[in-house]
Chain A
Amino acid sequence: MATHPETGPGMPSTPIVTPGYTYASVTDKISVIVLSGTTPLSWFAGFLIAFGLLQALLLGIGWTVVFGLGTWGINIPVGWGFAIVNFVWWIGIGHAGTLISAILLLLRQQWRTSINRFAEAMTLFAVSCAGLFPLLHMGRPWFGYWMFPYPSTMAIWPQTRSPLVWDVFAVSTYATVSLLFWYVGLIPDLATLRDRAKARALKIGYGMLALGWRGSAQHWHRYETAYLLLAGLATPLVLSVHTVVSFDFATSLVPGWHTTIFPPYFVAGAIYSGFAMVLTLTIPIRWLYRLDDFITMRHLRNMANVMLATGLMVAYGYLMEIFFAWYSGNPFEMFMMLNRMTGPYGPFYWALICCNILVPQLLWSERVKANVPLLFLIALVVNVGMWLERFVIVITSLHRDFLPSAWGMYYPTWVDWAIFVGSIGLFLTMLFLFIRVLPMISIFEMRTILPSPKPRPAAAPGAGPAGD
């Protein structure tokens, strides 16, 4: 999937940054978004909408805590509903960030530079949205801390055979590392903002966050080491987190969950949905803040390619599910697959096939990839598709399992919807605040990829502007 910008055969030589920029102009163009006193009305508009949605979340949570999970659509046999669907969906979205920042960094994919900061932020916000749900879906969330190992007066510990416990660790680790990674990456830029800020309050604020960064060679050296180390740390997480999340299902014996293919296919799906979300967000912002020069067609094209690639992996996953259902000769598996396709939730299955497999095939065409609105649409469709995928996995597997006498149906309630929509509100709210107060594109890394006046070794990013 790594399409090497310089040497890729037959690659259109779209640069990863439009020529003509100098260090200063780059810095200006990016930092002004944050530091200029005037905020575009569009920002306010977007923020208000997001904040409105956020209220739905608060209402939903309040309702759930006061009246109980009975206000959701879940029941016996369908013990998990929207909450888990949303959880997996958000976690998946969270993947692009780490992938772009860590793996592409190690792979020296310079085109990542202009989108990594943004993607990392998105990751953090997605993960924090995801983190809500495991807690919310508990019958007694106020005892959620029992999931953590600590010497309690009950002299008992969490039950470490349970994938849910692994989940707690996987997700919290992932959140921590992503946060560190993002923050460390921010430090030089925070320093830049500190230096360029006019208001004293801002100076102090950014100053504290900059941790006294002076851009000395020593600083750069330490920074490089730390950043590379974190990248190395984060890389396995890209694989581990969603693997563990997939264990939540794979280790059970529910037909439709109990499969060995889940880990790889969940990871692929995660990256798939992650990139889809990055595209969904970059395209409008790129247009809004006139960032076409930094986020060029090249970026969009590359991300589209990644989507196409991971999309195909996911398609393979679906195919294998069907194959194994038949090949296993297990009547329950066979029934599950049949029920998934033709049962009461059949339409959802076919919709997901449509969204995740058919539509993205358009991306084979260069013309489609060159068409930004269409690209945006496809990304959107994939987001929906990935949500449907989780819905199908969770609900259709549960609602008809082993004993026909215990079969049931699942219908979400308004609380389910409020919390789902509200979580999107939370995500967007955080995103809007981010682009307002922090540089959404890494300033110093952008500088490194500018054609430099004096020849310099193709060093790791950030090596360049030392000492400016």
Chain B
Amino acid sequence: MSHDAMPGHDGIDWGEIRRRLAERQGPEYWRSLDEVADTPEFQELLHREFPEGATEWTDPVGRRQFLQLMGASLALAGLTACSSQPSDKIVPYVRAPEEVIPGKPLFFATAVTLGGCSVGVLVESHQGRPTKIEGNPLHPGSLGATDALTQASILGLYDPDRSQVVLRTGTPSTWNAFVSGLATQLDSGTQPQGGGLRILTETVVSPTLAAQLQAVLAKFPAARWHQFEPVSRDTVRAGARLAFGETVNTIHRVEAADVIVSLGSDFLTTGPGAVRYAREFASRRRAETPATALNRLYAIEATPTLTGGMADHRLVVRPDDLESFARGLAVRLGIEVGGHSWRPTPEQAKWVDALARDLAAHRGASLVVAGDEQSPAVHLLAHAMNRALENHGRTVVFTDPIEAVPVDQGESLGQLVADMQAGKVETLLILGGNPVYTAPADVPFAEALNKVAFRAHLALYEDETSALCHWHLPEAHTLEGWSDGRAYDGTVSIQQPLIAPLYGGRTAHEVASALLSDPRSGYDIVRDYWKSQRRSGDFETVWRKALHDGLIADSALPAKVPTWKGVIPAAPSVAPQGLDLVFRPDPAVWDGRFANNGWLQELPKPLTKLTWDNAALMSPAAAERLGVQSGDVVELTFAGRRLNAPAWILPGQADGTVTLHLGYGRTQAGRAGSGIGVNAYLLRTAAAPWGGSGLTLKTTSARSRLASTQGHQTMQGRNLVRMATAEEFRKHPDFARDPGDHGAGHQPSFYPAHKYEGYAWGMAIDLNACTGCNACVMACQSENNSPVVGKAEVLVGREMHWIRVDRYYKGGLEAPETVHQPVLCMQCENAPCEPVCPVGATVHSSEGLNDMVYNRCVGTRYCSNNCPYKVRHFNFLQYADDRTPSLALLRNPNVTVRSRGVMEKCTYCVQRINEARIQAKTHDRDIQDGEVITACQAACPSQAIVFGNINDPKSRVSQLKAHPLNYGLLTELNTRPRTTYLARLRNPNPALEQG
């Protein structure tokens, strides 16, 4: 499709338009494009838009026939007046046959880019409809897993609120009108060599786009290219420059580290390589035998992270103490530090001592990780310590930056704004991002923007920035357009589209090519670039393989050994005054770009379990002092700016520190995302992008209702998450077992035990690996067509997630131990839900599944009352959206969409089991171990979830269930759950244990 709508193909006469525009000047200029827009061609183009085409098959129940009818894929073609598959060539993934067999999905390898890093994924496609994102096992950054944001990004593709037409000052226009407008603008530029041209992008990790923009700069030498995104890694890059005098990309070899110190880092769940790191970390936490040596993780942080939750020891410090602590540790490790005056508390002193010993004892096998949001100094110190500990080249590897052109983005935006205010900017192209909303409060981007004569914005949504631009261009979704990108280690993946742009969106590549007035399809642009990169050999084979595998072989950046130039400066002597404010990207909506994504809005945030809101997170002690309850609205004043935000009490938060998550308080996000939460950017300054001290907090009388999915935080002394230290495990290997229970709970029952001749499905969840990152929750929602219910329903406890991650605290409020426990249907052998259903809508299957038959359910809800795990969810209202046509495309055709009044629950992804069974039978064999992978299991970065046939003693799940750490939840009820857990082990440092 990409090229058949390019200039010259849709019947608009270019010369004509140029001529007509050339005749006009000044204020009339804009109006004249309307006239162009009113041409029949324009009308025709408009009617190619999605909604019109969609209306003919909005019937939600027709979903499966639609799929199973051959004609359906063609019906889809009618949508954007081009085939459902891009007309460009695509190489299907090996697991699927080359040609489309109706009723059989295809898998395509592509990549998703977020926050300046790409990760490879496989996307499941049913007759041209992408329905599910999986990780790409071949991709180093994924290894088959994904994070929650990637999983949910597919919803964005079908979001009916996405912008659907080119807008010129708010009125519908055409892509061609824009291109000609741009051309005229550049021609009429007053400054030589395109001096008035500025391009603003987010962090660019696409070699192709970078090359294109470089070409643009070559064509317009006086033009400038700026990069800005709110969750940039400026401090990381700055730290590297301090240490090595150049920007380098740091890769951690987590599995090679015996001792890991996290300085306010959340490397296990956020940032480049997190998915990979989680896997590597977990690989060192599995106690195959009581003798196995585990790694040890120390976390020093001000605001709780999931990484901190996994730590064996967690030290809570004020944000500005963190740097001092790092200095102290560095000094203790014998690193030369220019001036160091730090008065550690006794506990901190003890920590420094213990850490130093432990690190020193593991030279070359230790790792110090500084958080992305930490100051350059902290990064410098981390580099210095890793160097002193001889970790460079062992647990820490350096390469050239993965960003095409690494810049200090804060600075870059500053320059742009300065230029705009100075009136130097005539033409501004904003390719992606939403700077009007995300720019720091003290950077008057919006005002400056108005000084620009020609401003265009390419974005998925018609957002805050689009509103202030003359031109808004619908952007093609990741799954709609061609591109490429570098992974955490530099590996290049080609981003290939699975569906032609539903809303006629374009990629940045196409805009750039318009700038270069060399119109080519996205496919040609990307392909030609890589062709040009390859001097020798048969490009075609390489290219096909790259698309097929989802990455370009050995494109990872080579490791390098940067020369040490680090000089550790004296500690800045700033006496912290008032409270500290800390900004963090939101675990669900990130920097706000996912604000209209219902899945993510309703995703309980890992630690607070909040949905549909952000809040000012504060420590219990502070809340007590101020007499603040969760939900009370407090007035935050920082750097002279005020913001009212609801408070939320978060155990483990540093006292006197308030954390705000970015990404809320959007005004033009869409129907789901606008007007919820508070806008943290209003307090954010260029100088303190991640917060600082000097915050004052006033209580107000207002309250706001926050929807949290977990009201109770402790286990009430119940033995739900079983824990011990590695030492205790060595002494009592069966501590996790129930007293007198040998293998998960076999008490007598009046009912005869079930017999399972064939398969008996079971699951084991390793609590040592589970970081609580929520990837499983999103994967489940995506796989099983789970609805979004909205804040009001969550408030009354009606969320519909089939798998939830329970979070419990252990120990004191100030620095508690955090444990996560994914809870899904336990598929009990003696399922309490089964005998109470009057109509037999939930029954035991021959393979031990606890089948839930939606179409038989009359909705007495007795099964849920009688479920001790409360994993059943009821459609109290018509939750499934059966009115939005585009969402019908998103559904997994192999899972029934549940209607009002029926109960639903986890099925162990029975559709996948059945598919595997049919495959096995048609080949006259048995289902192999690992052939059935549930959605949650597939997504889990740390492989905490293992599923399989427990009748097969050799299967991985059987082995785990035989493990001494294996235990069942609430087995005293004789439910005999098929889902069991591996008890959690801590590997504490004896030196820190006492006291």
A residues in contact (CB < 8 Å) with B: 67-70, 72-80, 137-141, 143-144, 146-147, 154, 156-159, 161-165, 168, 248, 251-254, 331, 335, 398, 401-409, 411
- A157's nearest neighbour on chain B, judged by CB, is B840
B904 CB, min distance to chain A CBs, angstroms: 11
Of B714, B874, B900, which is within 8 A of A79 by CB? B874
Tell me which residues across on chain B come within 8 A of A80, comparing CB atoms: 861-862, 865
Q: Are B864 and A159 in contact (CB under 8 A)?
A: no
B817 CB, min distance to chain A CBs, angstroms: 16
- Does B870 interact with chain A (Cβ within 8 Å)? yes
Q: Are A405 and B865 in contact (CB under 8 A)?
A: no
Q: Are B858 and A138 in contact (CB under 8 A)?
A: yes
Tell me which residues across on chain A come within 8 A of B711, comparing CB atoms: 407-409
Tell me which residues across on chain B come within 8 A of A146, comparing CB atoms: 838-839, 856, 858
- A77's nearest neighbour on chain B, judged by CB, is B870
Q: Are A158 and B901 in contact (CB under 8 A)?
A: no
Bound complex: CA A140 to CA B720 (Å):
35
Bound complex: CA A354 to CA B796 (Å):
31
Tell me which residues across on chain B come within 8 A of A252, comparing CB atoms: 832, 836, 862, 865-866
B753 CB, min distance to chain A CBs, angstroms: 16
B residues in contact (CB < 8 Å) with A: 710-718, 720, 793, 796-798, 804, 806-808, 821, 823, 832, 835-840, 843, 856-862, 864-866, 868-870, 872-878, 900-903, 969-970, 973
Tell me which residues across on chain A come within 8 A of B970, comparing CB atoms: 402-403
Closest 8 CB pairs of A and B: A139-B859, A139-B901, A70-B877, A406-B870, A70-B876, A79-B861, A159-B840, A405-B806
B629 CB, min distance to chain A CBs, angstroms: 16
Q: Are B858 and A68 in contact (CB under 8 A)?
A: no
A419 CB, min distance to chain B CBs, angstroms: 16
Bound complex: CA A162 to CA B865 (Å):
13
Tell me which residues across on chain B come within 8 A of A163, comparing CB atoms: 836
B787 CB, min distance to chain A CBs, angstroms: 12
**From B793, B862, B900, residue with most partner A Cβ within 10 Å:** B862
Bound complex: CA A334 to CA B380 (Å):
56
**From A74, A165, A402, residue with most partner B Cβ within 10 Å:** A402
Q: List 6 A-B contacts (CB under 8 A).
A: A79-B862, A79-B874, A140-B857, A252-B866, A402-B869, A404-B715
Bound complex: CA A403 to CA B806 (Å):
9
Q: Are B839 and A70 in contact (CB under 8 A)?
A: no
Number of inter-chain CB pairs below 8 Å: 165
Bound complex: CA A405 to CA B824 (Å):
13
Bound complex: CA A69 to CA B793 (Å):
12
Q: Are A159 and B837 in contact (CB under 8 A)?
A: yes
Bound complex: CA A77 to CA B970 (Å):
17
Of B710, B714, B823, B838, which is within 8 A of A162 by CB? B838
Q: Are A405 and B823 in contact (CB under 8 A)?
A: yes
- B842's nearest neighbour on chain A, judged by CB, is A159
Bound complex: CA A78 to CA B796 (Å):
10
A147 CB, min distance to chain B CBs, angstroms: 5
Q: Are B865 and A254 in contact (CB under 8 A)?
A: yes
Q: Are A76 and B858 in contact (CB under 8 A)?
A: no
- On whether A74 and B876 interact (CB within 8 A), knowing A69-B901, A253-B868, the answer reads yes
B535 CB, min distance to chain A CBs, angstroms: 59
Q: Are A401 and B868 in contact (CB under 8 A)?
A: yes
Additional A-B contacts beyond A74-B861, A162-B835, A406-B869 (11; CB < 8 A):
A76-B872, A79-B865, A138-B860, A140-B859, A144-B858, A164-B837, A403-B823, A404-B718, A404-B808, A405-B823, A408-B711
Q: Are B864 and A77 in contact (CB under 8 A)?
A: yes
Of A67, A73, A164, A405, which is within 8 A of B838 by CB? A164
- On whether A405 and B858 interact (CB within 8 A), knowing A68-B876, A75-B876, A161-B835, the answer reads no
Tell me if A's interface is mostly helix, strand, loop or mixed. loop
Of A143, A157, A158, A407, which is within 8 A of B712 by CB? A407
Of A70, A139, A407, which is within 8 A of B902 by CB? A139
Q: Are A139 and B861 in contact (CB under 8 A)?
A: yes
Tell me which residues across on chain B come within 8 A of A147, comparing CB atoms: 838-839, 858
Q: Are A162 and B872 in contact (CB under 8 A)?
A: no
Q: Are B840 and A70 in contact (CB under 8 A)?
A: no
**From A146, A147, A156, A404, residue with most partner B Cβ within 10 Å:** A404
Tell me which residues across on chain A come within 8 A of B872, comparing CB atoms: 76
Q: Are A138 and B901 in contact (CB under 8 A)?
A: yes
Bound complex: CA A138 to CA B874 (Å):
11
Tell me which residues across on chain B come within 8 A of A158, comparing CB atoms: 838-840
Bound complex: CA A162 to CA B843 (Å):
12
Q: Are A164 and B868 in contact (CB under 8 A)?
A: no
- B866's nearest neighbour on chain A, judged by CB, is A252
Bound complex: CA A77 to CA B872 (Å):
9
Q: Are A164 and B860 in contact (CB under 8 A)?
A: yes
Tell me which residues across on chain A come within 8 A of B866, comparing CB atoms: 252-254
Bound complex: CA A69 to CA B879 (Å):
12
Q: Are B860 and A408 in contact (CB under 8 A)?
A: no
- B861's nearest neighbour on chain A, judged by CB, is A79
A143 CB, min distance to chain B CBs, angstroms: 5
Bound complex: CA A159 to CA B835 (Å):
8
Bound complex: CA A354 to CA B872 (Å):
36
B223 CB, min distance to chain A CBs, angstroms: 56
**From B823, B838, B870, B970, residue with most partner A Cβ within 10 Å:** B838
- On whether A403 and B870 interact (CB within 8 A), knowing A164-B862, A252-B865, the answer reads yes
- A253's nearest neighbour on chain B, judged by CB, is B832
Bound complex: CA A163 to CA B875 (Å):
23
Q: Are A76 and B873 in contact (CB under 8 A)?
A: yes
Tell me which residues across on chain A come within 8 A of B837, comparing CB atoms: 159, 162, 164
- B975's nearest neighbour on chain A, judged by CB, is A253
Of B710, B717, B796, B798, which is within 8 A of A405 by CB? B710
Bound complex: CA A173 to CA B806 (Å):
46
B336 CB, min distance to chain A CBs, angstroms: 50
Tell me which residues across on chain A come within 8 A of B806, comparing CB atoms: 403, 405
Q: Are B865 and A68 in contact (CB under 8 A)?
A: no
Q: Are B835 and A68 in contact (CB under 8 A)?
A: no
- B969's nearest neighbour on chain A, judged by CB, is A403
Q: Are B808 and A405 in contact (CB under 8 A)?
A: yes
- A147's nearest neighbour on chain B, judged by CB, is B838
Tell me which residues across on chain B come within 8 A of A254, comparing CB atoms: 865-866
- B873's nearest neighbour on chain A, judged by CB, is A76
- A405's nearest neighbour on chain B, judged by CB, is B806
Bound complex: CA A253 to CA B971 (Å):
13
Q: Are A137 and B860 in contact (CB under 8 A)?
A: yes
Q: Are A68 and B797 in contact (CB under 8 A)?
A: no
Bound complex: CA A163 to CA B677 (Å):
46
Q: Are B836 and A75 in contact (CB under 8 A)?
A: no
Q: Are B903 and A139 in contact (CB under 8 A)?
A: yes
Bound complex: CA A406 to CA B901 (Å):
21
Bound complex: CA A457 to CA B236 (Å):
108
Q: Are B836 and A162 in contact (CB under 8 A)?
A: yes
Tell me which residues across on chain B come within 8 A of A140, comparing CB atoms: 857-859, 900-902
Bound complex: CA A403 to CA B796 (Å):
18
A117 CB, min distance to chain B CBs, angstroms: 35
Tell me which residues across on chain B come within 8 A of A74, comparing CB atoms: 861, 876
Q: Are B858 and A156 in contact (CB under 8 A)?
A: no
Of A75, A138, A164, which is within 8 A of B798 by CB? A75
Q: Are B868 and A165 in contact (CB under 8 A)?
A: no
Q: Are B838 and A165 in contact (CB under 8 A)?
A: yes
B413 CB, min distance to chain A CBs, angstroms: 43
Tell me which residues across on chain A come within 8 A of B713, comparing CB atoms: 404
B881 CB, min distance to chain A CBs, angstroms: 15
